[in-house]
Amino acid sequence: MLLIVIGLFFMAVLLIVFALLRMVFDRKMKVDKRLEYIENIEKQYLEVELSFGERVIIPLFNAIGKKFLSISPEYSTKKKRAILERAGFLKKISYERFVAKRMMTSIVVTLMIGLLMTLLQAQNILIIFMMLWLFIFVQIVFRFTTKAAITKRSTQMVKDLPYTLDLITVSVEAGLSLDGAIARIVSNVPGVLSDEFSKTLKEMRMGIDKRQALRNMSDRCDVRDVSILVNALIQADELGVSLGKVLRIEGAQLREKRRQSAKEKAMKAPVKMLFPMIIFIFPGVFVIILGPAVIKMIEMFR
């Protein structure tokens, strides 16, 4: 019986010591366990075999793009990067990869046409002229594609802005801050305007001043309505005006502007319809109406 009591006593002492040690070293054990988990994740990631494109093609395109950019002046590079940002082309690929893709496409198409004309035994001057003309043509196609993408994206922003502004207004009046309202937009409303708000929210969370982040968004979009909204938000923040009232006023102005724009397009419609009617509809009407009379006149004077 004495041995059992002594054994239980020692077991109780060991459990108490173990509990005290666990309390003292619990935080360190959790940190060590977390670090071990992260190391295992990194090992698993390194063990995953990358595809041929990730190992060779993408680094090659990045290197080619950097070479082309090293030749271009810095101000020109910044301007072209801003244009591609507005077009939305840099959402999934880097600027270097886009430049390499454009230049490699131009060079490959030009060389293929040159090889084809060489096989057809064309004159050297004609081959050089056609290759040069085709290289310039591909660059022009890329430029027109970029402008079309900018126009489409800007139009979509203007179209989505009133509804997005209404959601921001409701969120702010419900008690959310501007950051929280923007986060709600990003999570609930898909679209190009939501993507721009997402970039702005990331800049705010990185520590950039709210006003500067909003100005950066205005510069990226380069849309008049977005710039007006950003300026109103910045002024409301600086002057301490109620943000909900400012947003409601801006929303009403945007809707009135859209209504006036719709009326303007409706008034232009008859003028735009005039030339197709003259070219395609009136000749058929004249044939139907005057055809029988012309036939009778021909038979009369025969």
| Domain boundary residue, one of 151, 167, 192 | 151
| Domain boundary residue, one of 87, 120, 151 | 151
pLDDT digits (tens, 9 = 90+) for 252-278: 888 888 888 888 888 888 888 888 888
pLDDT digits (tens, 9 = 90+) for 80-136: 888 888 887 877 777 777 888 888 888 888 888 888 888 887 788 888 888 888 888
Q: Does residue 178 share a domain with residue 139?
A: no
Q: Does residue 131 share a domain with residue 207?
A: no
Q: Which domain holds residue 219?
A: 155-259
Q: Which residues of the chain have pLDDT under 50?
A: 42-48
pTM over 0.75: no
Q: Looking at the domain assignment, is residue 247 inside a domain? A: yes
Q: Does residue 120 share a domain with residue 161?
A: no
Q: Looking at the domain assignment, is residue 298 inside a domain? A: no
Q: How many domains does one find in the chain? A: 2
Q: Does residue 146 share a domain with residue 120?
A: yes
| Helix orientation angle between 243-276 and 124-173, rounded to the nearest 10 degrees | 140
| Domain boundary residue, one of 151, 174, 207 | 151
CB contact set of 177 (below 8 Å; sequence gap of 6+): none
